[in-house]
Amino acid sequence: MNEQITNSAPNDLYIGGKWVEGTGGDRFDVLNPADQTVLASVASGTVEDAIKAIDAAEAAFADWAGRSPRERAEILRKAWELIIADKERFARLITLENGKPLSDARGEVAYAAEFFRWYAEEAVRNRGEVMMSPASGARILVQHKPAGIGVLVTPWNFPAAMGTRKIGPALAAGCPVVIKPASATPLTMLALMPVLAEAGVPAGVVNVVPSKSSGKIVDAMLHDARVRVVSFTGSTEVGRTLLKSAADNIVNPAMELGGNAPFIVCDDADLDKAVEGAILAKMRNIGEACTAANRFFVHDKVYDAFAEKLTKRMGAMKMGNGLEDGVEVGSLVNADTRNKVTELVDDAVKRGAKVLCGGKVPEGPGYFYPATVLGDVAPDSQCVSEEIFGPVAALQRFSDDDEMIAKANDTEYGLVAYLFAGDMKRGLALSERLEYGMVGLNRGLVSDPAAPFGGVKQSGIGREGSHEGLKEFQETQYISVEW
Ligand code: NAP
């Protein structure tokens, strides 16, 4: 155990409320991306372990689903309190395993915990419906029941929040879960388990199986007839694979996949506000977010002024180990992510983009990449069609709204779009024409536990957060009653 990690979990598998080493005996190292030191060795679950976790979830299901909504709500509320009381420890752990600056990690902990408070409040608002059938006169009685065991697969970019955004509604609905966290960042989810136990979550209701054989163990769980929900956050490519596996047993899918967000600045926008929005939309999490602004479309009339302000702000951002004071650009999560960013920037420059700041990999350890602004990016550049997943703002000009909307919608993704406009009538009219599940209108941040988060097209199926998130873990039952 690395001395930087305090009071942490044993980093084994967490099944049925117990820490177990796993049947295969294999372990894998989790690295600090800022200096490549080993943080911890984590047990790697096998198919046999994953099925044992499903057994534990099944054993816990009836009791958990049978508890009163109020009791489930109180436990979730307690979990929120305990995480907030321990916010700093969780934030440091996220920074250590993910590389993001401590300020981002603190924001993530508050956001992650909020899903427990929100779903504590939703657990007691599980409304049904009664109506009279227009034809037969029978009563139509509709209720929402727990869907069953959920398999939750999460990415490395928000090691806490992408898990709690699923655990919160699952537990509120009465469903037990098995979580497969990302191999790069499993420590935060493991560290959450003693906190959930202290809050009163019974053994077996939440199980965690980290594994280096993700494909095999998730596929095995999706082919176990007891599993009724698969909730995945990650790449569109892996989402497609999971949808295929889920098809065999018709498992309910909830998919939060990739994005390619446009960030639009109209000629009447408040430019200072637009730059602040751009910093949030681009630089939160060092750009390693599905919601990160990927393509900037700036009106010709304000392009130069916006580019200058953004370059000044991004060029001044301090890069370094996320644990250090004042750092705004931490380390990217691994070599592959940084290599991809480098490749996309080099390609854009080859096609004529101007480097306004950044654009060079620094010397030394860690997977750092500086805040970078690219001007006049050619529309056929790879960074226009692919997720950058790094701190690079790629700017293009536009002069006609119709042409800009067509370009903004010209992608297979549809997660989030950002739009800055002075005239709200114009802003709302343009927002409606954007083919995206979410739009930030004069805002660079849309994530909110009370709002339905999710995408259209190949960005996903279903919604997380809000009341809609609960529905992903419920089945509707209708009883036709002769009154
Ligand atoms: P990823 O490669 O798709 O991995 C996500 C999770 O799936 C990890 O736990 C991973 O395990 C697991 N996995 C990988 N291959 C699998 C397979 N064949 N079967 C089952 N599980 C498998 O994505 P990532 O690189 O971690 O995250 C980045 C992506 O997530 C981006 O595309 C981003 O846009 C998207 N994202 C979307 C949202 C959203 O809400 N829409 C939020 C955050 C991120 P291992 O780590 O062990 O490989």
Write the residue with the smallest CA distance to atom 46 of ligand 1. 182
Rounded distance between C-alpha atoms, residue 295 and residue 61, angstroms: 45
> Which class in CATH covers the domain with range 2-257+458-481?
alpha beta
Structure tokens at 68: 């009163």
Distances (CA, A) of 365 to 277, 369, 392: 31, 12, 20
Taking alpha carbons only, the member of 303, 77, 99, 306 closest to residue 172 is 77
DSSP states of 34-83: TT--EEEEEE---HHHHHHHHHHHHHHHHHHHHS-HHHHHHHHHHHHHHH
Q: How far is the CA of 138 from the centre of ligand 1 (A)?
A: 47
Polymer length of the chain: 483
pLDDT, tens digit (0-9, with 9 covering 90-100), for 200-245 = 999 999 999 999 999 999 999 999 999 999 999 999 999 999 999 9
Inform me whether the pLDDT recorded for 44 exceeds 70: yes
Picking from 249, 252, 298, the residue whose alpha carbon sits closest to that of residue 271 is 298
Residue whose CA is at the smallest distance from ligand 1 atom 13:
214
Question: Is 389 a residue whose pLDDT tops 90?
Answer: yes
Catalytic residue among 97, 256, 464, 472: 256
pTM: 0.97
Superfamily for domain range 261-448 = Aldehyde Dehydrogenase; Chain A, domain 2 (3.40.309.10)
For residue 9, the model assigns a pLDDT of 78
Res. 257: pLDDT tops 70: yes
Mutate to test the pocket of ligand 1, among 290, 387, 438, 456 (most ligand atoms within 8 A of CB): 290
Identify whether 256 is a catalytic site residue: yes
Q: How far is the CA of 148 from the centre of ligand 1 (A)?
A: 23
Q: Is residue 241 lining ligand 1, measured as CB closer than 6 Å?
A: yes
Nearest ligand 1 atom to the CA of 155 is 26
Task: Measure the CA–CA gap between 439 and 418, rounded to whole angstroms.
Answer: 6
Residue of the CA atom closest to atom 43 of ligand 1 = 290
Return the ligand 1 atom nearest residue 258 CA.
34
pLDDT attached to residue 483: 83
Residue 235 CA, ligand 1 centroid: distance in Å: 5
Tokens standing for residue 369: 């990449």
Return the best residue to mutate from 97, 157, 411 for the ligand 1 pocket (most ligand atoms within 8 A of CB): 157
pLDDT of residue 436: 98
Q: Tell me what pLDDT residue 1 has.
A: 52
Between the CA of 266 and the centroid of ligand 1 the distance, in Å, is 34
User: What does the mean pLDDT of the chain come to?
Assistant: 97
pLDDT digit string, tens, across residues 151-197: 999 999 999 999 999 999 999 999 999 999 999 999 999 999 999 99
Average pLDDT score over residue span 351-379: 98
- Each domain of the chain, given as residue ranges in start order, spans 2-257+458-481, 261-448
Task: List the structure tokens of 200.
Answer: 């009163």
Residue whose tokens read 């007691």? 124
Query: Once rounded to an integer, what is the mean pLDDT over residues 27-46?
Result: 97
Give, in order, the Cα–Cα distances in Å from 456 to each of 57, 59, 138, 361, 416. Answer: 31, 36, 37, 35, 9
Q: Ligand 1 mean position to 87 CA, how many Å?
A: 25
Confidence of residue 3 (pLDDT cuts 50, 70, 90): low
| Most distant CA atoms of the chain, gap in Å | 76
What is the per-residue burial (b if ≥16 Cβ within 10 Å, else e) of 236-269? bebbeebbebbeeeebbbbbbbbbbbbbbbbeeb
Q: Which atom of ligand 1 is nearest to the CA of 237?
A: 3
Strand partners, 354: 375
